[in-house]
Structures are given as C-alpha cells and as structure tokens.
Amino acid sequence: MTTADILDNVNDPIIDMITRVAGTPLDFGGGHVDPNKAMDPGFVYDIQNNNNTTSYTFKRVLTNVVDSSSVHRAVVTAPSGMKVVVQPATISFLKKSSTANFSLTVDIDLGLRPPSDYIGNYGYLSWHEENGKHVMTSPIASALHLKRR
C-alpha cells in the first residue's frame, strides 16, 4: 500500500471510471500497485484497528525491511477542515528489522458541515527517506455520518 502510485502514468490523478473525475482514497485505496516498488518498500506498517471520531490519535509501528540504516521525514498533505500531526516528525532505523513508533493525530472540523449528513475527506502521509530513494505514502481518510436532530 505505501508504495502504490496515487497518480497515473502521465502524473495526473487516478480517474474514477464511472464518474470520469479524479478519484479519492475512498475509490482507489492506497493507489495503483507498483510491484517493483513493493519489492523494496523501505518499511511496513503493523496493522491495528481504530475508531472513526472527530479527533483520534493512531499509534503505528513501522519495521525496516532494507539492509541498511535510514532516516525518514514525515510530510502531511491535509485538506481544509482536517488537521494532522505526526509525532515524531522524523524516524530513524538503525538496521534491518528495527522498528520505529509514531503517532498520527487527526482532528476533523465539524464546523464545516455539508448540506448532507456526511462528512468525508482525505489527505496523505508520506515518509521521505533522507539521502535515499524511498517515499512511502498512505492515505488518511475520514468519513463521518452525522445524526440530524
């Protein structure tokens, strides 16, 4: 998932085949699989389950899967109404199979209420390897269904 492409082969957003408009992670998940990049991802996530709320902190563990040490810097792309904080913003791996922990706190602004009962938004967390080739990207998607009074 973290090595999947979120752009097509001409660097445009992946298009939803039915609506013919740019898709979102709710349409295409992590993106288009790139088997070559998947063979050398840099690190992998240990999966955990979480609740969708207006503010939630996700704790994640990453495992280095390359034969060297590395340092990665977090880059967040968040839409209006979504605040994302990554702590720590830089992680280091000392060797293969070493792990790094980080937390990702997502705050959704419920003041931006749409005319419907649904709030859905998405952004991305990318880890850029310093002085290296790896960039791992994961979608951050929120979906809230609001009860009307």
Q: Could you tell me the maximum CA-CA distance found in the chain, to the nearest angstrom?
A: 56
Distant-in-sequence, close-in-space partners of 149: CB < 8 Å, separation ≥ 6: none
C-alpha 61: how far from its chain's center?
14
- At 148 the pLDDT is 53
- At 52 the pLDDT is 40
Prediction pTM value: 0.66
- At 47 the pLDDT is 57
C-alpha 64: how far from its chain's center?
17
Q: What is the pLDDT of residues 87-139, one digit of tens each?
A: 999 999 999 999 999 999 998 876 655 555 666 788 999 999 999 889 999 99
Please, are residues 45 and 18 in contact by the beta-carbon 8 Å criterion? no
CATH architecture for segment(s) 32-145: Sandwich (2.60)
How far is the C-alpha of 148 from the C-alpha of 114, rounded, in Å?
12
Q: Domain map of the chain by residue range?
A: 32-145
Q: What is the pLDDT of residues 48-99, one digit of tens each?
A: 565 444 788 999 999 999 999 999 999 999 988 888 999 999 999 999 999 9
Beta bridge partners of 45: 62
Q: Is the pLDDT of residue 36 over 90?
A: no
Q: Which of 124, 101, 105 is nearest to 43 (CA)?
A: 101
How far is the C-alpha of 86 from the C-alpha of 83, rounded, in Å?
10
